Amino acid sequence: MCGIAGVVGQGNVVDTLVRSIRTLEYRGYDSCGIAVLQNGALAVKKGVGTVEEVSQAERFSDLDAATGIAHTRWATHGAVSAENAHPFTSCDGRIAVVHNGIIANWTELRARLEAHGHKFRSQTDTEVVPHLIEEQLKLGAADFETAFWQSLNLIDGAYSFAVVTSLEPGRVFVAKHKNPIIIGLGESANYIGSDFNAFIDKTKRAVVFDDDEYGVITKDDFWVKSRLTREVVCKDVTTVQWDAEMAKKGGYPHYMLKEIHEQPHAIRMALGVDARGMAQVVEMLRAAKRIYLVGTGTTYYVALVGQYLFKDHARRFVSAVAADEFTLLAEVDAETVVLAVSQSGETYDTMQAIRCAKAAGAKTAAVVNVMGSSLAREVNVALLQMSGPEISVISTKAALAQMVALYRIAADLARADGTARGDAADVAAAFAALPDLVQQVLNEKSGFLNTLAKHTCGWKDWLFLGRGVYYPIALECALKMKEVAYRHAEGMPAGFLKHGTLSLIDDDICSLIFVPPKRDEALHKMVLANIEQIRAREGHVVGFVYDADESLASLLDERVLLPDVHPSIAPFLELLCGQMFAYFTAVALKRPIDRPRSLAKSVTVP
């Protein structure tokens, strides 16, 4: 997903353009660029980074123009680099294009254009468009509009385009097929944007494009035509009652809930993680004498879950080390592999750990969400989890997807080692079904988790208890509770109770138990014994459980019952419940969910 903006106005519109793509950054933020018509010629500036960073580094503010387009990118194909950032220009530099979508037949178009002498500077699909228009003009298209229209007819795929050209100053050309584009009608200025956010501070009057339409805006007019008939389409002007924040959140009340609901997709992407990179990581791990999983905060808990996954699926002990403690603790040499986990790929502590490992000659790899991030660039192999932008400070989908990616690595490693478990095929099938199960739990359990949160939100102190892999799951869920609901929640192994923690059990503390399915017999039995210990001291206990068993129900004051699933994916459904429980507790307590106090999304400082 990318964001497009454009303006034709009076005076200097560069500031407006920069502001527009900044409001569209939720659609992507790994690189950006701008093209304007200055003194009759096109000026293009672009680079890698957020809009804030690039606009300063490339001095966007030096530009002065009344017509322009801009773009913010979230790479899915093609590396993150200045060359691959939009806008793209034609050979003669007189046409500039920004694009949101995928051109399916770009390789053949490019080959044809190259045969006609066009020079390409990037590896992107979009760059064919300015050259294609240029070629149509060379071939004798009557005017620019005709050339644009002919080009659209040659393109196969999903797109929204915005185009400026020095051949037709004071105009921005747009087209839509399957990706959104909207015109905003202002006072002696007209705008375009991927959604209303791009210009909502300027105007609430908008014209929404439908598929197979193209058009033009000028300073005080616009028209829209059908690509199929080339006839003018009469469009309604709608006045939008618009909450810009709500739109960015896709209609969800908070990014956190949106991202929780995006987890089925995030899991699918993580299960299908790049095969070549995966093979490289597996080779690297097989050659290693020592393996460290490194993360910090949530990603440290992901690493801890990874420890259990490597044990369960690959019969390997790997050590999870908190990135901030790594240099103090880890033994690193040339036969060591450090596998880092990070959403942003910019976390200071994790970068330090990786640099320290590299300095000692270790091999490095990463599971990371942001392509082109420092971490992705600095490790030997970066596996992109492709979860899409995560905006909420509270990590949900990125963490769950990382755990799934670690399972994939462990399973592939076991296959290569020849140590795969006997039921590996069953486990793989269970993971393949996980996205649908997550969707089912989201639909069918939200009400129970919300009710539980309403009943229990008064408790200020919590113990989150689990055994085995449910222990790091408990840690991660307790962290969610602390981050978003500001409730003191301690995650710990349930086995710790009798070694001290039982003394805390009284009327003022509530325990949340992560109970495994009954099929996980040994673990199930141990956890039940722990619940008994708390009940014996009249402690209040709530649980996430899989069996409807009365003997278990009678031990719990309240419970959320989950559908019966394969034990190897059960922990992930409990993580989902923990995320939702923290979310609904925060809703009940009216916390500022996406912007919790004292926290930032990406911790890039020591």
Partner 1 sequence: MKAIVLAAGKGTHLTPFSPDRTASLVDICGTTVLEHTVKLLREAGVSDVVVVVNPAEQKIPRLLGDGRHLHVSVDIVRQSGPEGIGGAILEAAGRFQPGENFFLVYGDTLTASNVFVHAQQSHHLHRAPVAAVCLTSKTDPYGIIYMESGMRISRVVEKPKDVGLGNYVLAGVFVLPQIFFSYLKEASGSMIGALERVVAKDRLYASIWEDDWVDLRYPWDVLKANRIVMKGWDAASIAKTAKISEGATLVGPVRIAEGVTIQAGACLRGPCFVGAETFVGNNSLIREFTSVGAKSQVGFGVELKNCVIFGGTHVGRLSFLGDSVIGAGVDVGAGTMTINRQLDNRAIDVEIAGRSIASGLAKLGSFVGDGAVIGASNTLAAGTVIEARAVVPHQFTHGRK
Q: Which residues bind partner 1 (CB under 8 A)?
A: 196, 208, 238, 240-243, 246-247, 250-253, 257, 261-262, 264-265, 439, 443-451, 454, 561, 584, 587
Sign of CA dihedral 137, 81, 47, 125: positive
Closest CA to 155 of 188, 171, 132, 138: 132
Token pair 């949340």 is at which residue?
A: 512
Minimum distance from CB of 280 to partner 1 (Å)? 31
Closest CA to 527 of 547, 504, 507, 508: 547
Residue 601 among the catalytic residues: yes
Cα angle 43, 48, 51 (rounded to 5 degrees) comes to 75
- Calculate the alpha carbon distances from 561 to 257, 446, 469, 533 in Å: 21, 12, 19, 22
Minimum distance from CB of 257 to partner 1 (Å)? 7
Closest CA to 523 of 441, 563, 465, 573: 465
Select 73 or 397, whichever has its Cβ closest to partner 1.
397
Cα angle 262, 266, 272 (rounded to 5 degrees) comes to 155
Cβ-Cβ contacts under 8 Å for 207 (sequence gap 6 or more): 182, 183, 185, 222, 224, 235, 236, 237, 238
Q: Which of these is catalytic: 235, 311, 518, 601?
A: 601
**b/e code 291-304 from CB counts within 10 Å (16+ = b):** bbbbbbbbbbbbbb
Distance CA 553, CA 547 (A): 9
Q: Which of these is catalytic: 2, 32, 477, 510?
A: 2
Residue 49: strand pairing partners: none
Give the HSE-up count for residue 299: Cα atoms under 13 Å, Cβ half-sphere: 28
What is the 3 state secondary structure string of 122-153?
CCCCCCHHHHHHHHHHHCCCCCHHHHHHHHHH
Residue type, 544: F
Distance CA 535, CA 515 (A): 15
Between β-strands 558-561 and 3-8, what pairing exists: parallel, antiparallel or unpaired?
unpaired
Whats the size of the chain, residue-wise? 606
Residue 590 among the catalytic residues: no
- Return the C-alpha torsion angle 251, 254, 260, 264, nearest 10: 20
Token pair 């339409």 is at which residue?
A: 213
- Read off the tokens for 169: 């100053």
Answer whether 313's CB lies under 8 Å from 411's CB.
yes
Minimum distance from CB of 399 to partner 1 (Å)? 17
DSSP 3-state assignment of 161? strand
Burial of residue 265, with CB atoms counted within 10 A of its CB: 0-12 exposed, 13-18 middle, 19 or more buried: middle
Closest CA to 77 of 129, 23, 26, 30: 30
482: number of Cβ within 10 Å: 18
Select 2 or 323, whichever has its Cβ closest to partner 1.
2
Positions marked catalytic: 2, 601
